[in-house]
Amino acid sequence: MREVFSSQPGLSRLASRLVSAAFSTSGIERRHTAVAEMSLRHGSDGAEAVFFDPATRQILNPSTATRNDLYVREATELYTRAAAAALSACEGVEAADVTHVITVSCTGFFCPGPDYRIVRALGLAPSVQRSHLGFMGCYAAFPALRQATTICRADPDSVVLVVSAELCSLHVRVTDDPDTILGASLFGDGAAAAVVTGRDLPSPRPVLRLDHFDTVLTPVGEEAMAWNIGDNGFEMVLGTYVPHIIDEHITGALEPLLARDEGVAGRPYDEIEHWAIHPGGRSIVDKVEARLGLRPEQVTASRETLRDYGNMSSATVLFVLKHILEQPHTGGEERICGMAFGPGLTVESALMTKLGAGTRPGGAGQRDGTRQGDGTRQGDASPVLDEVAAGVR
């Protein structure tokens, strides 16, 4: 992809050098795309080229409507596959148990939307309550998980299906603009789903207890990251100064989150076992690791997710959490601090706890709540993220 992009006609010599540098230093070894033409492995099958002309090796520039038509078809499949995989892997939960569906995306639009399509495709109850968080950018998975947590705290019997699907490669464009070139070197496609519930259910695998969430807007950076709709796709503004803004303001952004929990408040950052940092780019992970004094292994999940999938916008941090869940459990409670960054500049953060197989929030791992003898829960017990399924095209 680097060689194809850097050799596009009309690209200046300086821009071509910038393409090579951006792709070479990205920390990404592979990415996935829902656009078959853009995989660059497909020869001409006689159909009219829309996104990529294999004969001339030229990246084309279809309209926003054409790009969104492909989003409707491909994203629908990704949403339903990820949702079905998460449900099938969550023991003790059936499709009939799902009470809420929350979908997330910033790379396309349609209505009835993905929340509706999931209900129909998976045979969920027609009474399932549905929400869609659209066009929030890379941090949107955390507001979705926060909404799911609020639902489950209000009604612990709820089962919330959170599903994110992003087709970033739909919006690749050729231009001399450095922000666009940087985005082209980073973004890929993927989908992930999570089951969140307040129910006490047995699990043969570790789960995540969702403890606290917070949101902070940095005092600068509104112009450094944005996502606009143009005539020929969505247009990314991703300034090279973003890692520096994060570096300068990350400790302040974490303060309100960590102050909520006496177990981590005031303690060194590296005493939190895992850090689920949204890998918006390699330099962002580098800045967070250095500023917080973290050990390299504490950000392994973020770096390996970036290496294997690139930046999949909102779905990415769910891939990171899945990676952490699949790491060997050392016993006891393992704390996780998650962060994602997006337009604004917005910092969304979450404090979670990895619990071993069979440990539920109503048992030894419960926080901020009590269990009554008749089986009902009172107080502010933390829901559990029971399963994460991730997939790519």
137: phi > 0 → left, psi -120 to 50 → alpha, else beta; which?
left
Burial class (CB within 10 angstroms; exposed 0-12, middle 13-18, buried 19+) of 58: middle
Angle ∠(342,344,350) on CA atoms, nearest 5 = 50
Query: What's the token pair of residue 157?
Result: 């019997």
Catalytic residue among 138, 152, 168, 337: 138
Element (H, E) at 340: strand 334-342
Angle ∠(94,97,100) on CA atoms, nearest 5 = 120
Please give the C-alpha separations between residue 21 and each of 2, 5, 17, in angstroms, as whole numbers. Answer: 9, 12, 6
**Nearest alpha carbon to residue 76 among 103, 51, 98:** 103
Q: 275 φ, ψ to 5°?
A: -125, 115
Indicate if 138 belongs to the active site.
yes
* In contact, 164 and 193? CB cutoff 8 Å: yes
* In contact, 259 and 277? CB cutoff 8 Å: no
What b/e string do you get for 39-57 counting C-beta neighbours within 10 Å, with b at 16 or more?
eeeeeeeeeeebbbeeeee
Question: What proportions of the chain, in percent to the nearest 5, are helix, strand and coil?
Answer: 35, 25, 40
Distance CA 322, CA 320 (A): 5
Distance CA 339, CA 196 (A): 19
| Parallel/antiparallel/unpaired status of strands 377-379 and 369-371 | antiparallel
**Which residue's entry shows tokens 């066009």?**
135
Distance CA 289, CA 77 (A): 36
Query: What's the token pair of residue 96?
Result: 């009939």
For the annotated catalytic residues, the residue numbers are: 138
